[in-house]
Chains A and B, each alone.
Chain A
Amino acid sequence: MFNKILVANRGEIAIRIMRACKELGIQTVAVYSDADKNSLHVQHADEAIHIGAASPKESYLNADVVIRAALTSKADAIHPGYGFLSENASFAAAVESAQLTFIGPSADSIHAMGDKAESKIRMKQAGVPTVPGYEGLETEADYEQAARAIGYPILVKASAGGGGKGMRIVWEPDGLPEEIEAARREAVHAFGDDRLLIEKYLPNAHHIEFQIFGDQHGHLVHLFERECSVQRRHQKIIEETPSPLLTPELRKQMGEAAVKASKAVNYYNAGTIEFIFDPLLSTFYFLEMNTRLQVEHPVTELTTGLDLVQWQIRVAAGEHFPYQQDQLTQRGHAIECRVYAEDPSNGFLPSTGKLLQYIEPKGPGIRVDSGFAVGNEVTHFYDPLLAKLIVYSENREAAIQKMQAALKDFIVHGVVTNIDFMQSVLAHADFVNGKVTTRWVETTLDSGSLLPENRQQAVGLQSLISAALADLVIVNRQSSIVNPNVPDPYSPWKNPNGFRN
């Protein structure tokens, strides 16, 4: 087993990994940028090393500096978390060349799956169903012809992409040139690689993914599905397991396909096979593989009883993963809500500023993975994820109720969050009935049926009185302006004057 692990990440996931290390009796090293000097992940580590400026390229994405920090601190392994360097095959290779262990799959597996075009070709060869589409196109005419052949709407994606970046939906031929140009720019900027692929866009599909896990001795299983269809900007905001859509038969088929896909690239450690699921035909297609720990891994941990991060470390150290497929079961229901510093009424754009108040919910079956505390600054340099709120209960209905109660107890002041918005989603009949598709947020927002109802009235009145009373009876702790945030005053989400109507 390792003596010391460097965690090449920040925020909630760095803390999550450090907790697993502590439980296993392993020392931890944090790395941090100029912007993260006072961040919580630094305080959780046994030691911390400064690695550069706030911009990710100059710190968390700088492979050389991260590896040097590991060598200096005499760490024997690096855990990359998610994002940043986690799916960078040359980083994984460089870690191994430096006589350190990369906690994750082999560089070859990352490379094979990291490229969306190449991975699609590999999956077709392995007999895993993929979305109809084309890879390796060059001229504008090629794209136009391919798009026509597939039929609109189509999806343009960066080959090297991930996290919704460099991804564009094109509904009509007219929009194709501009969207290709935009996707290419984003791709170059985010990944330094302008290759794109196009495929059929399935507007009413669900996003269902399978957690897989393998050791370095050829043993690999799946740990069931996660339903991740509640998305905005192609990024997930609510995930749950089990999926309300899957029958035991479908679950078995998709699980077997996920195992087959992973074995095709000799995968080991934690990974996720993402599928697009068409609920009308009950068909599924391989979308991509994430060759790392996933943001939403906690819902799988709660329903399988496994600690995925501990197992990542243990199999990286060479241990056998002891469970056979038929020994693994799902129990109960888990839901995760990603609490983002973003404004749903302003196109989900991130909101930055200092946290004036930050209170997390507590209680049985409630887990909060977070990287922030009161007084911390949410900056525009990094992902605006404040915390992951995860609940576990005996069935889906009870889990939804627990989540609704927990969200009410989550208090964040200083940045605008999506908490109110997630409440509206959880209360919506489509969510309750498991009918949310990946485009649901966009279309439902447009139709206006996600707007808060009359309860706004009472809140408006109560908030005015509370604010006035607070000025009288509570000593003003912050008298100076610390945040430039002004949520859109015309937004129906934030209207305090509703009682007048």
Chain B
Amino acid sequence: MKITFDEIIIDLTPQGKSFRATIEDQTFEVEIVRADAERGRLDLRLIRLSDSQSVPESVFTAYVSSDGAKRWVTINGQTVVLTKSSGVQRKGSGQDHGSGLAAPMPGLVRSVNVVEDEPVVKGQTLMLLEAMKMEIRIQAKSDGVVKKLLVKQGQTVERDQVLIEIE
């Protein structure tokens, strides 16, 4: 069975009590020592088969939570977020706003300091957002002209929502 996370294909094949996992050109044997579905906890033993020189065996505990396509995984105190996909996706497509500037977090538009067609210079503060009482400046990444204002003062915005387009 093939599962893709963050463009990386993991091929899992059951083999008796354990699984054979292939990631790109590396193959591992994975044994589930313990699984606690309630807490999303897996205790795993991992043995690298394709390369006997490095990491011969590791035993670790992973906490996994799922949220739609996302998987939150904590191992040894380090947390990463992986995104499951059915096919190969261009990395970061959701983050690419072209010439637009997006909200770094959810909040309220406190002021809009420019109008459409206004020329702006790199570093100029175009908008002020407010979230958790903090002021966040939206600044021009390069010189240009305001092509489109997509939000108004007083409006609530979501994370990654495009606020303004600069040409």
Interface residues of A, Cβ cutoff 8 Å to B: 165, 182, 185-186, 189-190, 233, 346-347, 349-352, 356-357, 359, 380-384, 407-414, 416-417, 419-420, 423, 452, 455-456, 458-490, 494-497, 500
User: Contacting B32 at CB < 8 Å: which of A456, A469, A475, A487?
Assistant: A469
Residues of A contacting B76 in the complex (Cβ-Cβ under 8 angstroms): 408, 455, 459
Nearest neighbor of A461 in chain B, beta-carbon distance: B23
Q: Is B71 an interface residue (CB 8 A)?
A: yes
B23 touching A465, Cβ below 8 Å: yes
Most chain-A CB neighbours within 10 Å: which of B32, B71, B75, B79? B79
Residues of B contacting A497 in the complex (Cβ-Cβ under 8 angstroms): 6, 8
User: Contacting B5 at CB < 8 Å: which of A382, A464, A495?
Assistant: A464
A466 touching B72, Cβ below 8 Å: no
With A413-B63, A413-B72, A489-B91: A465-B21 Cβ-Cβ less than 8 Å: yes
Give, as a whole number of angstroms, the nearest-CB distance from A130 to chain B: 27
Within 8 A of A (CB), among B102-147: 104-107, 110, 128, 130-136
A472 touching B12, Cβ below 8 Å: yes
Complex CA gap A464/B12 in Å reads 11
Q: Is B42 an interface residue (CB 8 A)?
A: yes
B40 touching A469, Cβ below 8 Å: no
Give, as a whole number of angstroms, the nearest-CB distance from A453 to chain B: 11
User: Contacting A419 at CB < 8 Å: which of B66, B77, B128?
Assistant: B77
Residues of B contacting A420 in the complex (Cβ-Cβ under 8 angstroms): 77-79
Nearest neighbor of B7 in chain A, beta-carbon distance: A497
B1 touching A380, Cβ below 8 Å: no
B135 touching A470, Cβ below 8 Å: no
A473 touching B35, Cβ below 8 Å: yes
Residues of B contacting A488 in the complex (Cβ-Cβ under 8 angstroms): 95
B1 touching A472, Cβ below 8 Å: yes
With A419-B77, A462-B60, A497-B6: A474-B28 Cβ-Cβ less than 8 Å: no
A458 touching B55, Cβ below 8 Å: yes
Residues of A contacting B158 in the complex (Cβ-Cβ under 8 angstroms): 484
Nearest neighbor of A490 in chain B, beta-carbon distance: B92
Most chain-B CB neighbours within 10 Å: which of A420, A465, A467, A469? A467
Q: Is B82 an interface residue (CB 8 A)?
A: yes
Nearest neighbor of B36 in chain A, beta-carbon distance: A474
Residues of B contacting A478 in the complex (Cβ-Cβ under 8 angstroms): 65-68
Give, as a whole number of angstroms, the nearest-CB distance from A411 to chain B: 5
Residues of B contacting A483 in the complex (Cβ-Cβ under 8 angstroms): 67, 70
Give, as a whole number of angstroms, the nearest-CB distance from A184 to chain B: 11
Give, as a whole number of angstroms, the nearest-CB distance from B80 to chain A: 4
21 sample A-B contacts, Cβ–Cβ < 8 Å, listed by A number: A182-B135, A189-B133, A349-B104, A380-B107, A384-B132, A408-B76, A414-B72, A416-B79, A455-B76, A461-B26, A463-B80, A464-B6, A464-B10, A464-B23, A465-B21, A467-B3, A470-B66, A471-B3, A474-B37, A487-B81, A490-B95
Q: Is B17 an interface residue (CB 8 A)?
A: no
Complex CA gap A89/B28 in Å reads 65
A-B complex: 10 closest residue pairs judged by Cβ atoms:
A481-B68, A408-B77, A466-B62, A413-B72, A470-B64, A413-B65, A356-B65, A463-B73, A467-B71, A468-B10
Can you name 17 extra interface pairs (CB under 8 A) apart from A470-B42, A474-B40, A481-B67?
Answer: A189-B135, A349-B104, A349-B131, A349-B136, A380-B132, A408-B76, A414-B67, A455-B76, A463-B75, A469-B44, A471-B66, A478-B67, A480-B68, A482-B68, A484-B158, A486-B159, A496-B5
B77 touching A466, Cβ below 8 Å: no
Nearest neighbor of A466 in chain B, beta-carbon distance: B62
Complex CA gap A346/B77 in Å reads 20
Residues of A contacting B1 in the complex (Cβ-Cβ under 8 angstroms): 472
Interface residues of B, Cβ cutoff 8 Å to A: 1, 3, 5-6, 8, 10, 12, 19, 21, 23-24, 26, 28, 30, 32, 35, 37, 39-40, 42, 44, 46, 55, 58, 60, 62-82, 84, 91-92, 94-95, 104-107, 110, 128, 130-136, 158-160
Complex CA gap A471/B62 in Å reads 13
Nearest neighbor of B21 in chain A, beta-carbon distance: A465
Give, as a whole number of angstroms, the nearest-CB distance from B159 to chain A: 6
With A462-B58, A467-B73, A469-B42: A357-B63 Cβ-Cβ less than 8 Å: yes
Residues of B contacting A380 in the complex (Cβ-Cβ under 8 angstroms): 105-107, 131-132
Most chain-A CB neighbours within 10 Å: which of B19, B81, B130? B81
A359 touching B39, Cβ below 8 Å: yes
Residues of B contacting A351 in the complex (Cβ-Cβ under 8 angstroms): 105
B67 touching A475, Cβ below 8 Å: no
Give, as a whole number of angstroms, the nearest-CB distance from B9 to chain A: 10
Complex CA gap A479/B84 in Å reads 13
Give, as a whole number of angstroms, the nearest-CB distance from A83 to chain B: 10
A467 touching B132, Cβ below 8 Å: no
Nearest neighbor of A408 in chain B, beta-carbon distance: B77
Residues of A contacting B75 in the complex (Cβ-Cβ under 8 angstroms): 459, 462-463, 466
A357 touching B73, Cβ below 8 Å: no
Nearest neighbor of A406 in chain B, beta-carbon distance: B77
User: Contacting A494 at CB < 8 Å: which of B32, B64, B81?
Assistant: B81
Complex CA gap A194/B81 in Å reads 42
B130 touching A189, Cβ below 8 Å: yes
Nearest neighbor of A481 in chain B, beta-carbon distance: B68
Complex CA gap A383/B131 in Å reads 10
Residues of A contacting B62 in the complex (Cβ-Cβ under 8 angstroms): 462-463, 466, 470
Residues of A contacting B30 in the complex (Cβ-Cβ under 8 angstroms): 465, 469
Complex CA gap A471/B82 in Å reads 12
Nearest neighbor of B135 in chain A, beta-carbon distance: A186
Most chain-B CB neighbours within 10 Å: which of A233, A382, A414? A414
Complex CA gap A133/B83 in Å reads 52
With A357-B65, A463-B73, A465-B46: A470-B106 Cβ-Cβ less than 8 Å: no
